[in-house]
Amino acid sequence: MLKSALLTAVEATRENVVQHRRHLHRHPEPSFGETKTSAYIAAALRSIGIEFSDGWCAEHGAAGIVAKVEGLDAGTRSMALRADMDALPIQEVERPHASAVPGWMHACGHDAHTACLLGAVEALHATRDQWSGTVHCVFQPGEETLPGGASILVQEGALHTNAPTTGPRMAGGPLVDGIVGQHVYPQLDAGTVGFRSGAYMAAADELRIRIVGKGGHAALPHRTVDPIVAAAHVITALQTVVSRSCDPTQPSVLTIGKIRGGYARNVIPDEVVLDGTLRTYDMATAEQLRSAIERVAVATAQAYGAIAEVDLAIGYPPVVNAPALTESCRKRAIELIGAQHVVELPLRMTGEDFSFYQREVEGCFYRLGTGGDGPGCRSGLHTAQFDIDERALTTGTAMMAWLAATEV
Ligand SMILES: [Zn+2]
Ligand SMILES: [Zn+2]
């Protein structure tokens, strides 16, 4: 009964969700600068008649929103739903609904996440006399940029059921029972979703190694400390960090993606800078590899008389889906859209700040298939061609509403 009522409500909101997504897609905003997006969400919530708190992440220049939708017996259970809302500095290809902001584009589908969550709010509100509890809908800024909007929202207490609607915020009080988030996925057809229990996405650290030598004439190397030769050996030695210092059953990647140093073919420079990324699934492994990187870089540079300064910015933790909640979400997804539309996901080495919520409460981060035959509907995330098959918006709206309204 709840299922048919929710599906009817989702169908009624379908056009609105498409319009929300197209509007947001035309007006992308950078991480921690989502003020117009926030105002749009606030206006949509007011028109539905939903209470919300705004100004989350304000110290970072952003404007997150947490909306509360109450069903029967509002105090009995509380689930959180999350949508991120920032865009990327990418120039979108030309097409009718393309971004109207030069150089900025919703190339990670966060416009779709926000539109689906607005649709879910509307559907949950329309069926509020048919489900129990309170649903906290988190519209989160700054997913794409460190330190991640999720980490700030957690510090500000967004997962607390008694979070104040105004004034200074801080963590304290009872937490929501769990949180569910979805992310578009062009590899899966629209109408399909994917789950993975346990570790799903990697922790991503940012690495910078500065190798300092002593520059001079290329023909007089004995009077210099050549940082280029030292850097070459450091890069080669770093290849043993994963192969020799990591438990082989733990997936991990260390990539140096950028080398900068030197001016001319006949000049030995003073320094070389290496930038890279470390991806892991397990905090103990990450700790071990971070110290191995430091050890190998410093000692290898030293062998050539140079100094290595290692700077490791610790990024988002790994996305680890709580097994009980994830299995329950998978089961309920099958009830909603059928087993043939629910698939198992492979591990992914990309990162997501949803992991900060998962450190506080049980969380399930699943994938919403957005693939289709239209132009760009199979293109990868973070590309100028990326687009979604809009039929996925209905599935995304229904899934979020259904997972919030039904019991774990
Ligand atoms: Zn992204
Ligand atoms: Zn994303």
Which stretches of 247-327 are assigned E, i.e. beta strand?
252-261, 267-268, 271-280, 307-313, 319-321
The DSSP output letter for 235 is H
The domain locations on the chain are 2-201+318-405, 203-313
Residue 143 annotated among the catalytic residues of the structure: yes
pLDDT band at 334 (very low <50, low <70, confident <90, very high): very high
Which stretches of 141-218 are assigned E, i.e. beta strand?
178-189, 193-195, 198-201, 203-212, 216-217
**CATH 3.30.70.100 fits domain 203-313:** no
d(C-alpha 48, C-alpha 52), whole Å: 11
Q: What is the pLDDT of residues 122-161, one digit of tens each?
A: 999 999 999 999 999 999 999 999 899 999 999 999 999 8
What is the SS3 assignment for 298?
Answer: helix
Q: How far is CA 190 from the centre of its chain?
A: 20
Looking at residue 165, its pLDDT comes to 61
153 CA from centroid of ligand 2 (Å): 17
300 CA from centroid of ligand 2 (Å): 37
What is the SS3 assignment for 394?
Answer: helix
Per annotation, catalytic residue among 29, 86, 205, 389:
86
Tell me the mean pLDDT in the region 16-26.
98
d(C-alpha 341, C-alpha 19), whole Å: 25
154 CA from centroid of ligand 2 (Å): 18
Residue 15 annotated among the catalytic residues of the structure: no
181 CA from centroid of ligand 2 (Å): 11
Q: Do residues 237 and 225 touch, judged by C-beta distance below 8 A?
A: no
pLDDT reading at 10 higher than 80: yes
113 alpha carbon, closest ligand? 2
What is the SS3 assignment for 266?
Answer: coil
Per annotation, catalytic residue among 143, 156, 352, 353:
143
CATH topology of domain 2-201+318-405: Aminopeptidase (3.40.630)
184 alpha carbon, closest ligand? 2
Q: What is the pLDDT of residues 177-194, one digit of tens each?
A: 999 999 999 999 999 999
Give percent of the chain with pLDDT exceeding 90. 92
109 CA from centroid of ligand 2 (Å): 6
pLDDT band at 376 (very low <50, low <70, confident <90, very high): very high
Measured in degrees and rounded to the nearest 5, phi and psi for residue 147 equal -85, 5
Torsion angle (degrees, nearest 10) of CA 396, 282, 279, 209:
140
d(C-alpha 376, C-alpha 379), whole Å: 5
167 CA from centroid of ligand 1 (Å): 31
Q: Which residues sit opposite 348 in a β-bridge?
A: 201
CB atoms within 10 A of CB 183: 25
Q: For 39-43, 238-242, 333-337, 348-352, which range has the lowest pLDDT when averaged over its residues?
A: 348-352
| Joined tokens for residue 299 | 């000692």
Which of residues 169 and 290 earns the better pLDDT score?
A: 290
